Amino acid sequence: MSLTLRAMLLVLFVSLCAEAQPRTLAVYAGSAQALNAEARLAMQGELQRLLTPAGFDVILKNSADRRAGEDFELIVVASFNGSCSASPSTVKPVAATLGDTSIADGHILPFFRVDCDRIMQMLGPQPDPSVIGRALGRVMAHEIYHIAARTTDHHDSGVAKAAFSPRDLTSPRFDFDSWSLARMRPSSIARSSESSGDAAGR
């Protein structure tokens, strides 16, 4: 085997190994009102399940725990509005926005908000904690998609679509499609946002 061919194979091997290595994604989450330990564990598990195919190793941390010198490939900050526990209200919101991602000067920022009140309204009365966590994880993954892919685009199906139904939030399986996963990988990240505004993920 010639030296040139060996060098080419080595470069290809190193490239493939680099792509296979998961990137650490730190999610610094603010306090979620009334979110119990079981729901939080389910939320973290669903978030990891959804983002693993995009090459992320998710680390969920409390915002107050941030320390200088921590090194992650991607850092995002999440906040939660309202209560993440079962609500006595059965009134469904009109054109509910379950979460949104911050944008400034046309650039997507690594900050997003989750509306627990609206999610709980969609889940109905007395949902199981595991269902609450699953729904929160899916909304969070949707907003992280916008940040990781640097895009305001949505897709026709899967976690990257523009709006979720109650079934999308609660069904045993709901995933990103292959197009959306590719958008989150480093080689496919968009160079700039396709549109400007004050929020994405609606």
Domains of the chain by residue range: 21-192
Residue 29 · residue 40 · CB < 8 Å: no
Residue closest to 160 by CA, chosen among 76, 29, 50: 50
How many angstroms from the chain centroid is the CA of residue 106?
A: 20
Under DSSP, is residue 5 helix (H, G, I), strand (E, B) or coil? helix
* Sheet strands side by side (includes 74-81): 56-62, 23-29, 74-81, 107-115, 99-104, 199-200
Q: Is a pLDDT exceeding 80 seen at residue 76?
A: yes
d(CA 47, CA 133): 9
**pTM assigned to the model:** 0.80
CATH number of 21-192: 3.40.390.10
Where do the DSSP E strands lie in the chain?
A: 23-29, 56-62, 74-81, 99-104, 107-115, 199-200
160 or 192, which is more confident: 160
Give me the DSSP letters along 41-96. HHHHHHHHHHHGGGTEEEEEEEGGG--TT---SEEEEEEEESB-S--S--PPPTT-
Residue 122 · residue 31 · CB < 8 Å: no
- Which of 83-97, 135-149, 152-166 has the least mean pLDDT? 83-97
d(CA 54, CA 42): 19
d(CA 58, CA 74): 10
Q: Is a pLDDT exceeding 60 seen at residue 128?
A: yes
Residue 157 · residue 63 · CB < 8 Å: no
Q: Check residue 64 and give its pLDDT.
A: 76
Distances (CA, A) of 197 to 71, 106, 145, 152, 162: 30, 7, 17, 9, 16
Per-residue pLDDT of 43-72, as tens digits, reads: 999 999 999 999 999 999 987 777 766 789
Confidence band, pLDDT 50/70/90 cuts, at residue 14 = very low
Mean pLDDT of 120-128: 91
Mean pLDDT of 99-114: 95
Q: Check residue 187 and give its pLDDT.
A: 64
Confidence band, pLDDT 50/70/90 cuts, at residue 2 = low
